[in-house]
Structure 1
């Protein structure tokens, strides 16, 4: 580059351009291979189609040239790929790491199908499914996650000490398979277990033990059977289980029994709870004697009602600062200013990622809690709160009434705020109409003045 020596200003600009270029320059990649749209079908979809002959697991980062987060993530993924190639993670199949630009010819259609407009998107293709990465984009987390989602979905355990060690490390599910069982039934049960494991690769560990070996025989009882274990601090209380041939029943059992009878909700486990897509019956409480008594009864009720495997049970402490932040963000109708004593509600997040919750101030008698009462609450349109405009208006009305019931000053605020909101909405609407149809508005004003 030519920089005029007689101009300090020009020299400074040239140096700045060089610095920017150096900052944007991408270091040579060691383990990532660029993939074209023409190659995507052959090297990714055909390889990761779930056939028994799959020998390689493709890992793809979908990116855009303009995406700064993509530029930052690429070297991190490359570093993770290098560490895996150096053998720092054992028991992994052969892996192939690819970069796919959504800006290249034919790339948009592929990206629309697999990642939409979310960049960068990192996905592992195996067993006929695409598993999406949703954690911090740094090398060590990449490597850990890739190990989790590319390992064998179900691993066999033979010794009792193996199962003891697995339980000490974290949550684990075990299937005991009988030695004398029809081949068709055994394959069906193992197939269902495999599918459940694939659905939860990055969160849960699944194992199998065959009758006739030490572990399966040491547990005892009829086979086939399923078991869950973990550290004592997890306070697991697995429910009884039947119908091993039914994949949906197995899935419900796993979803319910990965948690303790009453989950102490916080911002860190919220995602795990909503990812089950099960409705969670939740007790809101503070740190006082009334709340302690209500929580004790709620825990007894949860143990009684969770055997139906239809609902999760949780508690949320409004005295905890982090829990208050969660309430403010997700459940604004339950801010401490609007809460009077322990209160129950039900929440659920669907496959579309949208949160719905049902609440009613009268739904607060823990001693009378029943599945029938929960179903009645969830059938009520008045109790339902979601992200629609109708529910937003309902939220304003409910919050105003509850705030107004506290004191005369609160009542004044409760009347003034909705009135102000309504006034601003009408004013904004009139301004919008005036901008879109100025002539019509002017004619209306002229007729009114006459």
Structure 2
């Protein structure tokens, strides 16, 4: 028992841990009875559901949980089925997973050709799956899933900062206010993400409105160089121009690290090559 506790709980007691097919599922939610009951039911359910007809898939538009469907040509591709199950188990808490076979002939309404992956959720969630074709590579598909289970551009705040951080992916953020220049920059940023930038499947995109109290607190804590904190030192308000920075999770501390340069191109002009250049330069690297 001591060995099990040391391996899976470290020094945190009491600890809740679930296991599915040799995989550890940690409990990172409030320790309330109803939350624990929900979590136990969630991780104990089937990893994915096999769909015979499209009706159930179409009904996922009524759910506020992202749903992912793997469409295969037939049941002979056991390698993809096994990999899909692994991905599903790793993401049981936040997503629903389905499998369908194109040989049934009722899935022609879905875009692309099998093997293909698709995402669905309630329209209020604003999800729009990044275009992608199934690849039997777990890391590649996990990255696609992390990008697709979120809106094309998230509004960064205290309510989702940790969630974005846990993805482990670089998050490209437009810091802005509510002035006219910022409104224009946000519209341009969103349009470019939707039309060209997100399709590469490399980054998560977000905006940070530092004219709101919540975002300003987060910026001061995580990204002090890009937060609107001049007002702490000056007796008059200062309007900052919209600027882009990138953050991700530190592999050593698990906390936010970020890259920021005042010389980075504007929202209308930057390219993903500029993002790659920014994060490759130690000159612009910062932690909080």
Partner of 1:361: 262
SS in 2 for 1:266: coil
Partner of 1:203: 94
1:265-322 alpha-carbon deviations (Å, 9 max, x no partner): 1211222211110001100111111001111111122231221111111101111221
1:95-154 alpha-carbon deviations (Å, 9 max, x no partner): xxxxxxxxxxxx2x4322112112221101221111110111111000001111111111
Q: Does 2:69 match 1:169? A: no
Seen in structure 2, the aligned counterparts of structure 1 residues 385 and 221 have a Cα distance that, compared at 3 Å, is: closer
Rounded Cα–Cα distance in structure 2 between residues aligned with 1:172 and 1:355: 28
Give the 4+ runs in structure 1 shifted more than 4 A. Answer: none
Q: TM-score, normalised by structure 1?
A: 0.58
Q: Does 2:30 match 1:146? A: no
Q: Does 2:179 match 1:309? A: no
Rounded Cα–Cα distance in structure 1 between residues aligned with 2:54 and 2:177: 43
Superposed, 1:11-22 pairs within 5 Å as none
Unaligned runs of 5+ in 1: 1-36, 38-106, 388-450
8 Å Cα contact 1:226-1:241 kept in structure 2: yes
8 Å Cα contact 2:115-2:133 kept in structure 1: no
Partner of 2:233: none
Partner of 1:274: 165
Seen in structure 2, the aligned counterparts of structure 1 residues 161 and 214 have a Cα distance that, compared at 3 Å, is: farther
Seen in structure 2, the aligned counterparts of structure 1 residues 218 and 302 have a Cα distance that, compared at 3 Å, is: closer
8 Å Cα contact 2:42-2:92 kept in structure 1: yes
Rounded Cα–Cα distance in structure 1 between residues aligned with 2:141 and 2:171: 19
Partner of 1:295: 186
Match of 2:29 among 130, 135, 144: 135
RMSD: 1.9
Q: TM-score, normalised by structure 2?
A: 0.89
Q: Does 2:154 match 1:263? A: yes
Q: Does 2:177 match 1:286? A: yes
Rounded Cα–Cα distance in structure 2 between residues aligned with 1:169 and 1:243: 24
Match of 1:252 among 127, 137, 143: 143
Unaligned runs of 5+ in 2: 231-238
Structure ID, larger Rg: 1
Match of 1:344 among 240, 244, 255: 244
Rounded Cα–Cα distance in structure 2 between residues aligned with 1:377 and 1:132: 34
SS in 1 for 2:16: strand
8 Å Cα contact 1:301-1:369 kept in structure 2: no
8 Å Cα contact 1:158-1:216 kept in structure 2: no
1:423-450 alpha-carbon deviations (Å, 9 max, x no partner): xxxxxxxxxxxxxxxxxxxxxxxxxxxx
8 Å Cα contact 1:282-1:344 kept in structure 2: yes
Rounded Cα–Cα distance in structure 1 between residues aligned with 2:112 and 2:170: 32
Seen in structure 2, the aligned counterparts of structure 1 residues 119 and 111 have a Cα distance that, compared at 3 Å, is: same
Seen in structure 2, the aligned counterparts of structure 1 residues 337 and 351 have a Cα distance that, compared at 3 Å, is: closer
Rounded Cα–Cα distance in structure 2 between residues aligned with 1:220 and 1:376: 34
8 Å Cα contact 1:160-1:218 kept in structure 2: no
Seen in structure 2, the aligned counterparts of structure 1 residues 203 and 351 have a Cα distance that, compared at 3 Å, is: farther
How many equivalent pairs are there?
277
Q: What displacement does 1:165 show?
A: 1.9
8 Å Cα contact 2:60-2:122 kept in structure 1: no
Q: Which has the higher helix share?
A: 1
Superposed, 1:11-160 pairs within 5 Å as 37=1, 107=2, 109-160=3-54
SS in 1 for 2:247: strand
Higher relative CO (Cα under 8 Å, sequence separation at least 6) belongs to 2
Superposed, 1:238-249 pairs within 5 Å as 238-249=129-140
Rounded Cα–Cα distance in structure 2 between residues aligned with 1:239 and 1:136: 32
Rounded Cα–Cα distance in structure 1 between residues aligned with 2:85 and 2:106: 20
Moved more, 209-218 or 367-376: 209-218
Rounded Cα–Cα distance in structure 2 between residues aligned with 1:212 and 1:372: 41
Partner of 2:224: 332
Rounded Cα–Cα distance in structure 1 between residues aligned with 2:102 and 2:273: 41
Q: What displacement does 1:379 show?
A: 1.6
